Structure 1
Amino acid sequence: MSSLPSELNARVAVVAGTDPELRAATKPQFGHFQSNVALRLAKSEGKPPREVAQRIVDELDVSDLCEPLEIAGPGFINFRLRNDVLAATAEEVRVDDRAGVAPAAEPQRVVIDYSAPNVAKQMHVGHLRTTIIGDCFSRVLSAVGNTVIAQNHIGDWGTQFGMLIEQILDEGTDVSALSLDDADALYKRASTHFRSDEEFADRARRRVVTFQAGDEESLEIWRQLIETSKAGFNEAYARLNVLLTDDDLAGESTYNEALPDVVADLEARGVAVVDNGALCVFTDGFEAPLIVRKSDGGYGYATTDLAAIRYRVQELEADRIIYVTDARQAGHFAQVFAAARKAGYLPDGVVAQHIGYGMVLGPDNKPFKTRDGSAATLSSLLDAAEENAAPEIALAAIKYADLSSGLQKDYVFDPERMTKTTGDTGPYLQYAHARCNQILRAAEAEGFAVGPIALVDESAEQTLAMALSRFGEVVDHLAAELQPHKLCTYLFELATAYSAFYEQCPVLKSGGDVRTSRLGLVAATRDVLAKGLGLLGIAAPERM
């Protein structure tokens, strides 16, 4: 369902021959919207702006949406939507189970790569944003009818396992008894041991070779470390209220067996060539080539990423692939995508996107760290927020703070500000939803009917009705452009419009059809807030 403003804007554009750029009217006497399109066209048409405005008004038929149009000042066109149209649009949202969100015309298979913690290490501040953002994308793209396939590309392979396995064998550790915290501490001990003891470092390097060659003792320890880590990851995901499960795991090890085949294929077709002993893919626009096989015969992240793209296109049949990582990896993914296009692993019809995000900053506006200078754990961030609010509200605060600014921007982690129930915060939206429920419970207790929405004579009612009509369009835009802050802005504007309506338009104390209609507006607002918060991964509490 398109919103009234967008429908009106589209119709005016046809007559004007250009975007009329409708804007909300600055004062009620100017109607709901204004356009300066006549002033912009006056020069090219060689006529006074008011004459151009009159021509547009004469040719434009929007009588099914608007009251008679007005020309004001030097040539502005004023639009006032009909009250019955506003009421009918809000009622359509109220009775729609999807709250106005229409299914995509052409549903896609969308692969989203996000979260990606490392085995035997706690999730830290760097995993907070990828997990929250990726989860939001998953919810939104599913809501508009796409098939979403989450891929949690955990770090479960590589040279670090040489030192981990050696440390475990040296200490005689029962890996099955470890928690993720224990494994993280073991990782730190192994790292220190590796740096300080060359004999241990040599053994660790040899262990990597043994492990990757299929040594069963090493593989059993590795498998137990993964099980320990999965339990810790799932605990974090439950606390974050995200949708990831073990079924979504597709770590680096998933692609091990495919790497030689990928490299052989690239070399055989001349996509990759040997340069200074390394096998490289040269692509336009990049100073250095993408190395797919090192001079020592080893493979790096780029090779695994190419194998993953090939798998996601050929086996998962992806139409769109989205990677959610630190913004600083933008160059890497741009080059990987270019190499995949050159290799034919990424056909022209498949979209590949890297969505980068900025850093989480501490109160000093520097990257958030613990007192000892190490990266803060994810659990410590959640703990800090919960010192200021209940878990459900604290999580709303964190997610909204993360998603409400442009993704590539850094943001300051300020639990006290983020958990306030006033201002542009997640808890404020939760409070607006709870207040809707409070009114509806009171109405039910009195036996008052809820809806249909038929009367929106007051300005605050009209503003709220218009805001409700925009939800579906906002969600469609988010699914296409992947900009969650626009949904956050919309929900804040809706909650603000509801607050003004609440203050200016008595609901329970009004009577007859007015009360019925206003209760309908409350119900529609509750439903849209709940749906919108759900798309952000935020709970919509009945009470606060």
Structure 2
Amino acid sequence: MILTLLKSRFADALSGIADDPAQLLDMIKSSQDPKFGDYQANCAMPLGKKLGQPPRDIAAQIVERLDVADFCEPPEVAGPGFINLKLKEEWLTEQVNGILVDDRLGVTPVSEPKHVVVDYSSPNVAKPMHVGHLRSSVIGDAICRILRFAGHKVTSDNHIGDWGTQFGMIIYGYKHFVDQAGYEEDPVGELARLYRLVNQLSDYHAAVNSLPDLEQKLSAAQQALTTAEAGGEPKDKSEKKQRKALRKSVSGLEQQVGSTRKIMEAVRSSPVVSSAADEH
């Protein structure tokens, strides 16, 4: 509000000095140091250079034409041509008192409302919710309220996501692995356990199927690297770059093979889960 008001007054003051005042208005900003006032305008520097006049003289001309007496103390020209502005305390008091009795707290609705879609929350519906899920909900709801208060049309959307696959896993787990006593005592907890179990079995079978191909690729990459290194140091940048790419490929494949074997080992180390994997 204050910055908009200042820019409006400066636009009037600059209209008889600058050809395009609008380009200079962005140089009116909040002061970084309170000793220079509340706001500072630096537009006299580029304008002085353009007009071939000392910036301080240009600043003095702007101040002479500037009408801000209703809410600012007399503007001051400082340094090479800065214009320092300090707000009147009685004006600030009047504005704050007015906001206190204003239902909109001094916020004017936007002149051109937009239709805004805010997608938030979206928890995994196949798992138990916890207090952490409230973070996205609270932030999303706050954004919606702010936008509506500003005058925009807001559509809030809680996107469920790919819940078909997740519930398919739960249904499969319920049919084959449910602990009826556990389900009766804690239904949500038991369904979450079933989801994790079936997901683990799915990852296990995917790992079993992919491991031979990964090991073959790793063996080929290691052989290619061994052959390349047998030729001694790289002869040029191209060969050095190729050698580096081979090492990176070997390292990446080693990590994939290691993580794949770890998935399989986690299942095989548990007699219960291993038996389930063999049967399903």
TM-score by length of 2: 0.58
Secondary structure at 2:108 match in 1: coil
**Equivalent residues of 2:71, 2:87 under 8 A apart:** yes
Code of the residue aligned with 1:6 in structure 2: it is T
- Choose which of 22, 33, 45 in structure 2 pairs with 1:39: 45
Other-structure match for 1:110: 116
* Offset of residue 47 of structure 1: 0.2
Other-structure match for 1:435: none
- Choose which of 141, 161, 164 in structure 2 pairs with 1:158: 164
Query: Take 1:32 and 1:144, find their aligned partners in 2: how far apart are those partners?
Result: 26
Larger Rg: 2
* Offset of residue 173 of structure 1: 6.1
Code of the residue aligned with 1:45 in structure 2: it is L
* Offset of residue 65 of structure 1: 2.1
Q: Deviations over 1:189-232 (max 9, x none)?
A: 2223445579xxxxxxxxxxxxxxxxxxxxxxxxxxxxxxxxxx
Other-structure match for 1:450: none
Code of the residue aligned with 1:187 in structure 2: it is Y
Code of the residue aligned with 1:161 in structure 2: it is F
Q: Does 1:187 align with 2:195?
A: yes
Query: Take 1:102 and 1:181, find their aligned partners in 2: how far apart are those partners?
Result: 49
**Equivalent residues of 2:31, 2:38 under 8 A apart:** yes
* Offset of residue 141 of structure 1: 1.2
Code of the residue aligned with 1:89 in structure 2: it is Q
- Choose which of 28, 31, 40 in structure 2 pairs with 1:24: 31
Other-structure match for 2:7: 9
Query: Take 2:160 and 2:94, find their aligned partners in 1: how far apart are those partners?
Result: 49
Q: 1:35 to 1:146 in 2, by over 3 A?
A: closer
Other-structure match for 1:136: 142
Q: 1:23 to 1:113 in 2, by over 3 A?
A: closer
* Offset of residue 53 of structure 1: 0.8
Query: Take 1:31 and 1:142, find their aligned partners in 2: how far apart are those partners?
Result: 35
**Equivalent residues of 2:37, 2:86 under 8 A apart:** yes
Secondary structure at 1:158 match in 2: helix
* Offset of residue 188 of structure 1: 0.9
**Equivalent residues of 1:24, 1:32 under 8 A apart:** yes
Code of the residue aligned with 2:52 in structure 1: it is G
* Offset of residue 187 of structure 1: 0.6
Q: Does 1:93 align with 2:99?
A: yes
Query: Take 1:172 and 1:100, find their aligned partners in 2: how far apart are those partners?
Result: 59
* Offset of residue 108 of structure 1: 4.0
Query: Take 1:31 and 1:103, find their aligned partners in 2: how far apart are those partners?
Result: 29
Query: Take 2:174 and 2:34, find their aligned partners in 1: how far apart are those partners?
Result: 72
Other-structure match for 1:67: 73
**Equivalent residues of 1:32, 1:79 under 8 A apart:** yes
**Equivalent residues of 2:40, 2:85 under 8 A apart:** yes
Structure with the bigger RCO (C-alpha within 8 Å, sep 6+) is 1
Code of the residue aligned with 1:189 in structure 2: it is L
After the TM superposition, which residues 263-278 of structure 1 pair with which residues of structure 2 at under 5 Å, given as runs? none
Q: 1:86 to 1:170 in 2, by over 3 A?
A: same
**Equivalent residues of 2:41, 2:83 under 8 A apart:** yes
Code of the residue aligned with 1:78 in structure 2: it is N
Query: Take 2:138 and 2:9, find their aligned partners in 1: how far apart are those partners?
Result: 38
**Equivalent residues of 1:113, 1:151 under 8 A apart:** yes
* Offset of residue 156 of structure 1: 5.4
Query: Take 2:114 and 2:46, find their aligned partners in 1: how far apart are those partners?
Result: 40
Q: Deviations over 1:205-261 (max 9, x none)?
A: xxxxxxxxxxxxxxxxxxxxxxxxxxxxxxxxxxxxxxxxxxxxxxxxxxxxxxxxx
Code of the residue aligned with 2:84 in structure 1: it is N
Question: Quick one: percent identity of the two aligned structures?
Answer: 42
Structure 1 or 2: larger helix share?
2
Secondary structure at 2:107 match in 1: coil
* Offset of residue 115 of structure 1: 1.6
* Offset of residue 101 of structure 1: 2.5
**Equivalent residues of 2:170, 2:191 under 8 A apart:** no
Query: Take 2:185 and 2:113, find their aligned partners in 1: how far apart are those partners?
Result: 45
* Offset of residue 26 of structure 1: 2.8
Q: 1:151 to 1:180 in 2, by over 3 A?
A: farther
* Offset of residue 25 of structure 1: 6.4
Other-structure match for 2:56: 50
* Offset of residue 105 of structure 1: 2.9
Query: Take 1:132 and 1:27, find their aligned partners in 2: how far apart are those partners?
Result: 35
Other-structure match for 1:362: none
Consecutive unaligned residues of structure 1, counting only runs of 5 or more, are 199-544
Code of the residue aligned with 1:83 in structure 2: it is E
Code of the residue aligned with 2:190 in structure 1: it is D
Code of the residue aligned with 1:10 in structure 2: it is S
**Equivalent residues of 1:24, 1:33 under 8 A apart:** yes
Code of the residue aligned with 1:15 in structure 2: it is A
**Equivalent residues of 2:110, 2:152 under 8 A apart:** yes
**Equivalent residues of 2:126, 2:167 under 8 A apart:** no
Query: Take 2:149 and 2:6, find their aligned partners in 1: how far apart are those partners?
Result: 26
Code of the residue aligned with 1:110 in structure 2: it is V
Of residues 125-134 and 33-42 in structure 1, the stretch that sits farther from structure 2 once superposed is 125-134
* Offset of residue 171 of structure 1: 3.5
Q: Deviations over 1:363-393 (max 9, x none)?
A: xxxxxxxxxxxxxxxxxxxxxxxxxxxxxxx
**Equivalent residues of 1:120, 1:180 under 8 A apart:** no
Q: 1:197 to 1:169 in 2, by over 3 A?
A: farther
Code of the residue aligned with 1:136 in structure 2: it is A
After the TM superposition, which residues 200-211 of structure 1 pair with which residues of structure 2 at under 5 Å, given as runs? none
Aligned residue-pair number: 195
After the TM superposition, which residues 419-430 of structure 1 pair with which residues of structure 2 at under 5 Å, given as runs? none
Secondary structure at 2:40 match in 1: strand
